[in-house]
Amino acid sequence: MTIGKKSSAVVSLILAGVLGLTACGAKEAAVTETSASAETAKTEYKYGKIDIPGKDGALCGAPIYIAYEKGFFAEEGFDVNLISADTETRKIGLNNGTIPIVNGDFQFFPSIEEGVKVKVVDGLHYGCIKFVVPNDSPIQTVEDFAGKKIGVDEIGGTPHQVASVWLEKAGISADPQDGDVTFLPFSDGNLELEAVKSGEIDVAALWDPLGSIAEKSGEYRVVFDLSTDPAFAGKYCCFLYASSKVLEENPDEIAALLKAYRKAQDWIAKNPKEAVDIISDKKYSAIDDKELAQELIVSYAYPSTEDRANGTAKIEEDVKYFVTELKNIGYLKTEDADAFAAEIFQKVDVD
């Protein structure tokens, strides 16, 4: 999911010297200590210490937090270090194998087309984006978006892509050259809300939990919900991406990571309240309203073990769907959507 846009700032808006030989010696000691620590980690954990991005404040990143806190990563042989990493850092880490796996949405698809060496290996959850307007806005349906200004976190980001797909399906061009709509980027969702409230923009396309918090404040209406809109409902928007390098050199490591994620997804699906308690108490996501957080966690539809057994989780189909939609609006250059979808998805034997 997009990085750094679903940060802790959301709540505040809505809820109101020795040098020389000594330094060299210290450096040598640090190197020795680091080497010893790495060796210890390898002894205690089958796969040793790894970095996984998991500090972006996203509520929908729950499987990462739960796999860490409930010990599922450790059970599968990993000493996990949760790190902060923006999109570019993730791409670099995936390419060189220093980051074995990340969660991310279909915003990654164009990056794969441009050469980032990753594969989609699983689905993470359903939609977590909402478009909101002030209560007194005349906007009610997609047709009302014609001629309007839409705030997004970044041009080319997932809210922008989602809005583009949604508009194009309704016959409204998302191409800025056509002038049907205008997209304006905001570095912070709070600024986006201020802009829609002041009339600078007409619609704010927001990540959860900000969109849901805004709605619950009573000042805004949701006019689009990624988790319920017919074009997107019941489909994974966020996936797990594995480093192609790690997949090729150590496929068992990726399989073990997927086991940990799946344990977490199953546990969340069956214990949403307890999951929210952990996420809130450990401050992984800045949402104080636990009741709302639980509603959102449930809406993300993390697949349980039973869901996977009965075929509810149709990851490959959803990859193909979004590849096709992004191709149709010009975000992907591929001429064969089915072939590209097959190329970027890799089934991993987890059992």
pLDDT per position as a tens digit, 294-316: 999 999 999 999 999 988 778 99
d(CA 326, CA 198): 32
16 pLDDT band, cuts 50/70/90, is: very low
What lies within 8 Å, CB to CB, of 170 at 6+ separation is 142, 143, 145
Q: Which CATH fold would you assign to the domain 22-127+238-318?
A: D-Maltodextrin-Binding Protein; domain 2 (3.40.190)
Q: How far is CA 288 from CA 32, 75, 191, 282, in A?
A: 43, 30, 20, 12
Pair type for strands 149-152 and 203-207: parallel
43 pLDDT band, cuts 50/70/90, is: low
Domain-by-domain residue ranges, the chain? 22-127+238-318
Half-sphere exposure of 231 (CA within 13 A, CB side): 16
pLDDT per position as a tens digit, 253-290: 999 999 999 999 999 999 999 999 999 999 998 888 99
Rounded to two decimals, the pTM is 0.82
pLDDT at 311: 80
DSSP 152: E
- Residue 242: phi, psi to the nearest 5? -110, 145
Hey, CA dihedral for 57, 63, 69, 74, is it positive or negative? negative
- Name the percent of the chain lying above pLDDT 90: 75
State how far Cα 56 lies from the chain centre: 9
Q: Token match 């929210």: residue? A: 276
Is residue 153 helix, strand or coil?
coil
8 pLDDT band, cuts 50/70/90, is: very low
